[in-house]
Structure 1
Amino acid sequence: MSAVIGFMGLLGGFGAVSSASAEDWPDRRHLPIEPYQQVGKLSSSVGASDKIDWPKEIQAPDGAPNVLVVLMDDVGFGATESFGGAIPTPALDRIAKAGVRFNSFHTAAVCSPSRAALITGRNHHVASTGIIMEFSTPFPGYHSLVSRSVGTIGEILTDNGYGTSWFGKNHNVPDWQNSPAGPYNLWPTGLGFQYFYGFLGADAHQFRPAVYENITPIDPYLGHEDTYHFDADMADHAIRWMHTQKSVWPSKPFFAYYSPGTAHAPHHAPKEWVDKFKGKFDMGWDKLREATFERQKQLGIIPKDAVLNPTPEGYKRWADLTPEMQRVTAREMEVYAGALAHADYQVGRVLDAIEQMGEANNTLVIYIMGDNGSSAEDPSGIGMTSELATLGNGIQDRPEYMLENIDKFGTMWFQNHYSHGWAHAMNTPFQWDKKIASHLGGSRTGMAVSWPGHVKDPGSIRSQFTHITDIVPTILEATNIPAPETINGFKQVPMNGVSLLYALNDPNAKERHDTQYFEVIANQAIYHDGWIANTTPKRLPWQGRGESNPDPFNDYQWELYNLREDFTQSKNLAAENPQKLAEMRKLFASEAEKNKVFPLDDRYIERVDPQNRPQPNKGRTQFVYFDHTTRITESMAADMKNKSFSITADVSVPQGGGNGIIMTQGGWFGGNALMLLDGKLTYAYALSHYPEHKYRVQAPDKLAAGKHKIVLDFAYDGGGVGKGGVATLTVDGKKAAEGRIERTIPTRVSLDETLDIGEDSGTPIVQDYTVPFRFTGEIEKVVIDLKEAPAAVAALQEID
């Protein structure tokens, strides 16, 4: 019998083998691709049968390069020296000098949407990510559940024979699916990436990050707490992964998506990196902006006739600050610069590893310096010592506290973010900042691409309009892999981006991505053939809540610019060319309809209300947890805010006394913990990191050995959100201590820390213990009973 047959049942366990002919295998348009085997004569005995080859498993196309995609977080166009800024980034320079810089590259202007577009090649609404994950709503373009018809570059490359990985920030898992209990289908490993080492949320504490390895939570800082920084750890893991790939499969190309979260708050850096920039920003953001603008012209990053847009009204000016606050805010910028430079240094280590493996000449590197413009979300103009405290829970920084603790900026005890003045300087020369998708300050960032042997004029600049959706098509053209028609039987939505390889060797090539809409929080824009029409922002970047408009498309004011003649979007032509504006608005409406942008929604903070998303715990008033249950995210944990509650724990204390965490949620910047501290039953509460916001209720005596039923009962005052209450501790039915907590967390316990039983991950509630502070006895269970219905959600000013 001579035929191409299935292998199933002959050797067993391998599964079905392709019945395709040798001529049409592999068909890379339909994924996954099953192994292929040509079978000759088969008889009842091995001796009488033809010899056959092993089934052929899919391999990447011949000559397919390795691919490294680097995406930095919250870095504006004018931040780095490569693009005229003040922060040295040698790794970016290295790629720019070996390849080309794109000075008209665009993002979606905010985190999750840009990242969804990057990994899928589709517009962010097509990927159901019209807003950050925590603010999702049920509409098709905004619900955050990425369709299986919108496959990722991870799926495509894995199914085509690549080794694939994702390091660092994710922020693409739906808010209610990011606990260790899953589901995992929208985690990186569920999206086709073979390996993940990073964090899931908007930001991470760089010294105490909530890291996952694939789907397993780990605490990588334990054992070297004094020297740990996530960026260095992430680079170590990326290098180790690449080494393993090439050691085992030297001819198999790899794909690594490397995504630090550093330049997003909190800005954390090793002290020696911060100190490199001491005094470098004492001139202030206004003069820095002017100096950056001049350097950009000298470098040819912007045209000689480009205009520096004025700083919008409402922004703090450097001269408005006292000398003391100028010193504080200068330190904030030193920290930001140190953090970004340190992160870029780690990218350099990854590039070094690729070179040392002999793979540099066969590696396509795409380095995107910012998933959106820099973040001007500081409301005060003097920066923040804790993003969570200020934006989440309404705690206003005291200038004297900031000055007294200036050396804590950049350390684990601050969750700092710089002034909106610095952010705007980082977005030089454009109007506006992150979140303002209508203007280039929010959407345009720097990018460099290198591919040895494929760039004839290294070090040059490209000005064709390009967009973050172009990255996947670029990788597919470079690897000679077609965009799939189906993945796992699901017909794929066509990609919105186009490959930008055409521009690598022709600076004058006609741009191929000639139409692109933008929309975030109803900040709208449409680019077409050199023109851009856009709405005038209704809110400043730090204003999370405002009067909602029922018809943002028709009621917003629109502007018009000719970017071919006006690089920086500075000359509004709407009044003199109403016909062109009407044309562009019609095009926006058409693109919005095709890409699931409608209905427009200009609410921001209002969308954080849990009622907008699936509520697995809706109506649940009792939560039972067991020992070693950790990393329960806030959206999935018992909500103890703005209500009375009790925590009941059945524990066994060992002979000689016990210590450690029984239950904790959050950390240093906001949270609470029930524990044995120095053997004494203790309830600690933190409204914020400010010393006056730390509360403690503690029993006078150590808890005796043996079994005990411990109860913390919190009686909430009521009358609104963030009010106080009385905490009472009882042991075996007898009152052990009682104390008052004057103010409680109104809105958000944490952006990155979780609820843990039997230990504490991340940062401690108080500095009397160090994490993980594992309970030395045994915990049978911990029961949290919620005694009042949740109050209305307060105004959360920021998550992304």
Structure 2
Amino acid sequence: MVMKRQTSLGLLLGSTLLWGSLAQHVHAAEPSQATQGWPQSPQAPRGAPNIVVILIDDVGFGATNVFGGPISTPDFARLADAGLRYDNFHVNALCSPSRASLLTGYNDRQVGFGNIEEAASKHPGYNTVLPANVTPVAEVLKEHGYNTAAFGKWHNTPYWQISAAGPFDLWPTGRWGFEHFYGFLAAADNQYYPRLYRDQTPVEPSSTPEQGYYFTTDITNEAVRWLHQHDAVAHDKPFFLYYATGATHEPHHVPKAWIAKYKGKFDQGWDVIRQQSFERQKALGVIPANAELTPRPSTLPAWDSLSPDEKKLLAHQAEVYAAFAEETDHEVGRLLETLREEGIADNTLVLEVFGDNGGSAEGGFLGKDAKTAEGGTPDVRTRLADSDALGSELYLNHYAAAWAWALTSPFQGTKQDAAHLGGTTDPLVISWPARIHDTHGIRGQFGHLNDIAPTLYEAAGITPPSHTAGVEQLPIEGRSLLYTFDHPDAPSRHKVQYFTTSGNLGIYSDGWWAGQLAQETWEVGDNRVYLTRGTQRQTHPWELYRLSDDYSQAHDLAAKYPEKLKELQALFQHEASRNHADPLRPGVDAYPLGTATGQTVFTYRSGVDRVGPRFAPDLGHDPYTLSADVDVPAGGAQGVIFAEGGRYGGVTLYVSKGRLVYEANANGVRTGQIVTSAPLAAGRRHIVVTVTPEQERTAGKSDAAAEMIRRWVGGKPVLATVGLSVDGAPARQARFSNIALSSRETLDIGRDLGSAVSPAYTVPAAFTGRIDTVTLTTAQSSGQ
């Protein structure tokens, strides 16, 4: 027994020594694990503020009452009363470029966003691919201990990556640095049927328009929920919340109750509204006392030149837009009230930019609402009779171009005009109760969206990285605005800034501005100049302004100071070259996927949905065949087998009351329908739809820009013969009056997501049988 005990004790001691030796070896090999303990997460600097950045879409400088305009924005006013108003703050005249600068601290083309994401080209300044030598602000803040989240409109992911296949590295939750995202990824979406994503997953709206669904309310609810969750589990950790509304971009969608508040408020017309705004701006001090009101361009009509019916229709358009803006402000107020309820408002830095570019004149001379199936616009009297529906899901409505000009008081120019301040100036309000003591203050230093990132870094006590993943980072372009908090009269630190959009040019240099206008937005047919390719048009001369004396660009000094103009022209060329701005109008290059690679056969199976237009075949003008193999249960089936598009344009194959239907609509008007004579019998069925246009597409119309315009707004009507057969039986045929369809939504198999292509069913109208495959075969015409 003693021997056994000694043996057991010896084994125990031996084991102890062995484990001790191993432990010493491990500790010696990995001393950091022995001393560090639990891995440490990044810690924000002590006292770093929470950060909320708010960006509203398509608003002129003189729209809100906070900056003298006719639109009531009480929550914007409350924020301004607690902080500072900036009346010399600048944007990039187009949405994706503006957002790229805001979210990085760089110039737009330095980060690949010289155009909107849908209009990318192969050139480095326009390819919409975030370069490795740039680290976005959300990523920097996250790496320094911040939680990050983005809500609303996101317009900075390459268009060809927005699919279930990704890649996802350039989505908000990828290299852009946000840990959470909820919203849509596009130039525009409507308030009632948005195509939503949660992080990287497609999701559908939580309710229908009939049940009160509204996108801006939805993203506010999601942002408030995120704030509550953060407060519950990470109260002491600072956060960066980016809230970017789809409002007030067209379509101008807003509930009727908001519109009623503005009845009659715009009956005076745009000339009087602009003059009244200018007088209020002077009284508020948001423009200098010596500022002058610039005149209406000769290419825009005087209000008094309109007919009585035109005045009624166009005044109502402005009422709808004003309601849209005020409702948006209300939702921002709900978000900011959450900060106060949680007791964190005092140390929360809030920056609200009320517009990512000037007011949008893309509505043309008489605005937009209803269109016919033939693509034309009804006469004004017909439009006026139906105008009570403006703001609803029935129309993709937009106000007349002159309203954009009126709401940009006192400046020249609108959205897309980089040559004038009306396209490149918007209100900025900064609030930070713990730090800003000169409340109600106004600041006049020159600022730009690329100044926001360095402002956030300085406020948080953070130095952006000089290297990321081993890549040396570009120097930040912007300048922090923190110096303006305590020094209202300090000279501007942002000395030089170039601007260029749609071929329109501008350059700022220490109080001087030179610019050249290629065209006003309303001077072109489709109002989408940023999609076109070409050399710079010289239809307007260069202009020169001394902004230090001439706030609104009222006096062109080009003839008086030709040498100064040459100096600024040379500076523009230098900045354009340095920032990869050439060519100024590169047009659109189709990324090599799908139809751009020559693919003509597309096969889909059950469960495939939310296929975006860039990935789906173009069914707008060429011959195609759609075949579907389905299994119909005993008793028959109901629902959608295939749908592309929605209520604003699309095609759908569905079963209703037992019969098979193929249908098309353009602009919400049915352009053709074909129905089988007998119910779809139970069992396996082979369905074939053939679409044969009665005329070929003309040569040159298949370029990427033309296709994009057609998919957004439709095209000239294309007549077609459509055949529908089941199991090889003789096909029923019908003549469709138009297949040149706008497909703003997605391609879906087995249901119709978003809005319904046909009023005969209610979305999603899921097919009650089984779908094996749906195959689309396109035949490219000789015009391609």
Structure 1: which 5+ residue stretches go unaligned?
Answer: 1-38, 793-800
Secondary structure at the residue paired with 1:115?
helix
| 1:285-324 correspondence runs (5 A) | 285-324=270-309
Q: Are residues 393 and 94 of structure 1, via their aligned partners in 2, closer, same or farther at CA, if it must alter by over 3 Å?
A: farther
Corresponding position: 1:712 with 2:704: no
Of 486, 509, 513, which aligns to 1:505?
A: 486
Structure 1 match to 2:497: 516
Corresponding position: 1:283 with 2:262: no
Amino acid at match of 2:467: T
Structure 2 match to 1:774: 766
Structure 2 match to 1:743: 738
Whether the aligned pair in 1 keeps the contact of 2:43 and 2:145 (CA below 8 Å) is yes
| 1:373-772 correspondence runs (5 A) | 373-379=358-364, 381-385=365-369, 395-541=376-522, 543=524, 544=527, 552=536, 557-601=541-585, 607-608=587-588, 611-617=589-595, 618-689=597-668, 691=669, 693-720=670-697, 722-735=717-730, 737-745=732-740, 749-751=742-744, 753-772=745-764
Q: Are residues 277 and 496 of structure 1, via their aligned partners in 2, closer, same or farther at CA, if it must alter by over 3 Å?
A: same
Whether the aligned pair in 2 keeps the contact of 1:303 and 1:567 (CA below 8 Å) is yes
Corresponding position: 1:168 with 2:167: no
Moved more, 214-223 or 444-453: 214-223
Amino acid at match of 2:486: N
Normalising by structure 2, what TM-score? Answer: 0.90
**Cα offset for 1:209?**
0.7
Whether the aligned pair in 2 keeps the contact of 1:376 and 1:542 (CA below 8 Å) is no
CA distance in 2, matches of 1:560, 1:45: 69
Corresponding position: 1:102 with 2:72: no
**Cα offset for 1:201?**
0.6
Secondary structure at the residue paired with 1:416?
coil
Secondary structure at the residue paired with 1:504?
helix
Secondary structure at the residue paired with 1:212?
strand
Amino acid at match of 1:750: S
CA distance in 2, matches of 1:549, 1:140: 16
The C-alpha deviation readout for 1:578-614, integer Å capped at 9, x for no partner, is: 111111111111111111112222x6xxx34xx5443
**Cα offset for 1:394?**
5.1
CA distance in 1, matches of 2:378, 2:464: 51
Amino acid at match of 2:471: F
**Cα offset for 1:551?**
5.4
Q: Are residues 541 and 63 of structure 1, via their aligned partners in 2, closer, same or farther at CA, if it must alter by over 3 Å?
A: farther
CA distance in 1, matches of 2:261, 2:532: 45
Aligned residues: percent identity?
Answer: 40
Whether the aligned pair in 1 keeps the contact of 2:696 and 2:782 (CA below 8 Å) is no
Q: Are residues 227 and 551 of structure 1, via their aligned partners in 2, closer, same or farther at CA, if it must alter by over 3 Å?
A: closer
Whether the aligned pair in 2 keeps the contact of 1:694 and 1:766 (CA below 8 Å) is no
Moved more, 94-103 or 529-538: 529-538
The C-alpha deviation readout for 1:648-691, integer Å capped at 9, x for no partner, is: 011112222211111111111111111112221111101222x4
Structure 2 match to 1:236: 221
CA distance in 2, matches of 1:278, 1:554: 43
**Larger radius of gyration, structure 1 or 2?**
2
CA distance in 2, matches of 1:341, 1:773: 35
Q: Are residues 633 and 551 of structure 1, via their aligned partners in 2, closer, same or farther at CA, if it must alter by over 3 Å?
A: closer
Of 22, 40, 44, which aligns to 1:60?
A: 44
Structure 2: which 5+ residue stretches go unaligned?
Answer: 1-22, 699-716
CA distance in 2, matches of 1:234, 1:457: 32
Amino acid at match of 2:729: K
Amino acid at match of 1:265: E
Q: Are residues 447 and 651 of structure 1, via their aligned partners in 2, closer, same or farther at CA, if it must alter by over 3 Å?
A: same
The C-alpha deviation readout for 1:116-148, integer Å capped at 9, x for no partner, is: 111011000101111112222111111111112
The C-alpha deviation readout for 1:621-644, integer Å capped at 9, x for no partner, is: 100011121111111111122111
Structure 2 match to 1:157: 141
Secondary structure at the residue paired with 2:78?
helix
**Cα offset for 1:707?**
1.4
**Cα offset for 1:327?**
1.6
CA distance in 2, matches of 1:419, 1:168: 26
Whether the aligned pair in 2 keeps the contact of 1:109 and 1:443 (CA below 8 Å) is yes
Q: Are residues 464 and 541 of structure 1, via their aligned partners in 2, closer, same or farther at CA, if it must alter by over 3 Å?
A: farther
**Cα offset for 1:555?**
8.3
Structure 2 match to 1:798: none
Q: Are residues 43 and 591 of structure 1, via their aligned partners in 2, closer, same or farther at CA, if it must alter by over 3 Å?
A: closer
**Cα offset for 1:192?**
1.4
Amino acid at match of 2:657: D
Whether the aligned pair in 2 keeps the contact of 1:728 and 1:735 (CA below 8 Å) is no
CA distance in 1, matches of 2:140, 2:491: 28
Whether the aligned pair in 2 keeps the contact of 1:717 and 1:725 (CA below 8 Å) is yes
CA distance in 2, matches of 1:265, 1:298: 31
**Cα offset for 1:194?**
0.4
The C-alpha deviation readout for 1:46-73, integer Å capped at 9, x for no partner, is: 9xx9776323221111111110000000
Secondary structure at the residue paired with 2:88?
strand
Whether the aligned pair in 2 keeps the contact of 1:41 and 1:50 (CA below 8 Å) is no
- Quote the RMSD (CA, aligned, Å): 2.3
Moved more, 734-743 or 591-600: 734-743
Q: Are residues 92 and 399 of structure 1, via their aligned partners in 2, closer, same or farther at CA, if it must alter by over 3 Å?
A: same
Structure 2 match to 1:5: none
Whether the aligned pair in 2 keeps the contact of 1:642 and 1:791 (CA below 8 Å) is no
Structure 2 match to 1:86: 70
Q: Are residues 130 and 666 of structure 1, via their aligned partners in 2, closer, same or farther at CA, if it must alter by over 3 Å?
A: same
Amino acid at match of 2:218: D
CA distance in 1, matches of 2:659, 2:171: 41
Of 143, 147, 152, which aligns to 2:131?
A: 147
Corresponding position: 1:337 with 2:322: yes
Moved more, 54-63 or 343-352: 54-63
| 1:173-212 correspondence runs (5 A) | 173-190=157-174, 191-212=176-197
**Cα offset for 1:500?**
0.5
Corresponding position: 1:372 with 2:370: no
Moved more, 767-776 or 464-473: 767-776
Q: Are residues 401 and 488 of structure 1, via their aligned partners in 2, closer, same or farther at CA, if it must alter by over 3 Å?
A: farther
Moved more, 49-58 or 155-164: 49-58
Structure 2 match to 1:27: none
Whether the aligned pair in 2 keeps the contact of 1:377 and 1:542 (CA below 8 Å) is no
